[in-house]
Amino acid sequence: MSATSMKYDKRHNEKIDPKWCDSQSDCTLISTDNIIFMVPKYHLQSASYVLRHALEMKSPLDNGTSPITLTSSFETSTTVRLFLDFIDGSWIPNIESTTHTHINDLLSFTDKWSCTQAHHSLLRCLPKFFEASSEDAVDYYPRWPVEVFVIAARWDALDICVLAIEQGHWWEAQSAAVKNFGAMAGCAVLDPKAMPARMVEQIPPLYMWALARVFGSLGTKWPKDWGKAGKEFKSLIEQWGHKSDDSQEQRGIKRKDDDTNASFRVATKSD
């Protein structure tokens, strides 16, 4: 069977993923776009505390016939497929084929289902997206430091935010962000006044405040040492955020989807 072909579940007229299609598997997931994934139970149990608990609660007589139907908006077939491929080692995020949307959705998925190791491993992959050279700035705009910063800030990954600042890149006039989304050419990509509005609104308030303080103190000058700017940012977050007893929600760290509680629905469909 080719990588792009899809089988159908004859009973329910749903497509079956071409890779995760072993009918002998003892667990079934259904994505929000109605793609079936037939997965060995141990594969999920080893990756997710919540799924391990859920699967242990299912009746031994079930034998994988009652699927786990995913319900959050980010639980599409793309997300589920990338997650399964990531935890079995057959895929890692890369600058050629991975978008910030893929990473955001995967982090939401691993957060929802308490896949702690996979979640942290995904965050550790983010610095790979700094590998795009300045000559590739326009082509790799979605993977540029500003996108990595937005993702890392959302998930409270402070050290990765610092690395993003230390890249020292700027918006180029031919960038899609300048042409289509309101970024300011010639300014640092993480200068709040130069960022597209859609990016600003995704950054938690504490992180945006620290960015504004750092770049506000620079005025129109470029820092001679981007590392110093990164250290100043980190110091502000640690002083006013990480050392407090506030929860992430109180500090403005938000999840992409309101429906990120580790809930699930075991759906038994009638024939």
Over the stretch 27-80, which tens digit does the pLDDT of each residue have? 999 999 999 999 999 889 999 988 888 777 765 545 555 789 999 999 999 999
Q: How many CB atoms lie within 10 A of CB 203?
A: 23
Residue 7 located in a structural domain? no
Task: Read off the pLDDT of residues 85-116 as tens digits, 9 standing for 90 and up.
Answer: 999 999 988 877 788 889 999 999 999 999 99
Q: End-to-end distance of the chain based on CA atoms, in angstroms?
A: 27
Tell me: do 82 and 71 sit in the same domain.
yes
Range of the domain at 224: 133-254
User: Which tens digit of pLDDT belongs to each residue from 79-92?
Assistant: 999 999 999 999 98
From the CA atom positions of the chain, what is the Rg in Å? 21
Per-residue pLDDT tens for 209-236?
999 999 887 765 566 678 889 999 999 9
Q: What pLDDT does residue 223 have?
A: 62
Arithmetic mean of pLDDT, 128-152? 68
Give CA separation, 189 vs 36, 97, 184, 192, in Å.
41, 22, 8, 8
Residue 265 lies in a domain: no
Q: Are residues 131 and 95 in contact, defined by beta-carbon separation less than 8 angstroms?
A: yes
- Last residue in a domain, options 131, 166, 194: 131
Tell me, yes or no, whether 185 and 75 share the same domain.
Answer: no
Distance, in Å, from the CA atom of 47 to the CA atom of 49, rounded to the nearest integer, reads: 7
CATH number at residue 80: 3.30.710.10
Residues 188 and 199 in one domain: yes
Question: Residue 145: which pLDDT band, with cuts at 50, 70 and 90?
Answer: confident
Above 50 in pLDDT, residue 266? Answer: no
Domains in the chain: how many in total?
2
- The vertex-76 CA angle with 108 and 139, nearest 5°, equals 75
- Average model confidence (pLDDT) across the chain: 79
Q: Are residues 161 and 112 part of one domain?
A: no
**Which residue type does 128 have?**
K
Question: Under a CB-based contact definition with an 8 Å cutoff, are residues 37 and 81 in contact?
Answer: yes
Task: Answer yes or no: are the C-beta atoms of 192 and 212 closer than 8 Å.
Answer: yes
Would 271 be classed as within a structural domain?
A: no
Q: Are 197 and 223 spatial neighbours (Cβ–Cβ below 8 Å)?
A: no
CA distance 116 to 120: 6
* Sole residue written with tokens 């991975």: 98
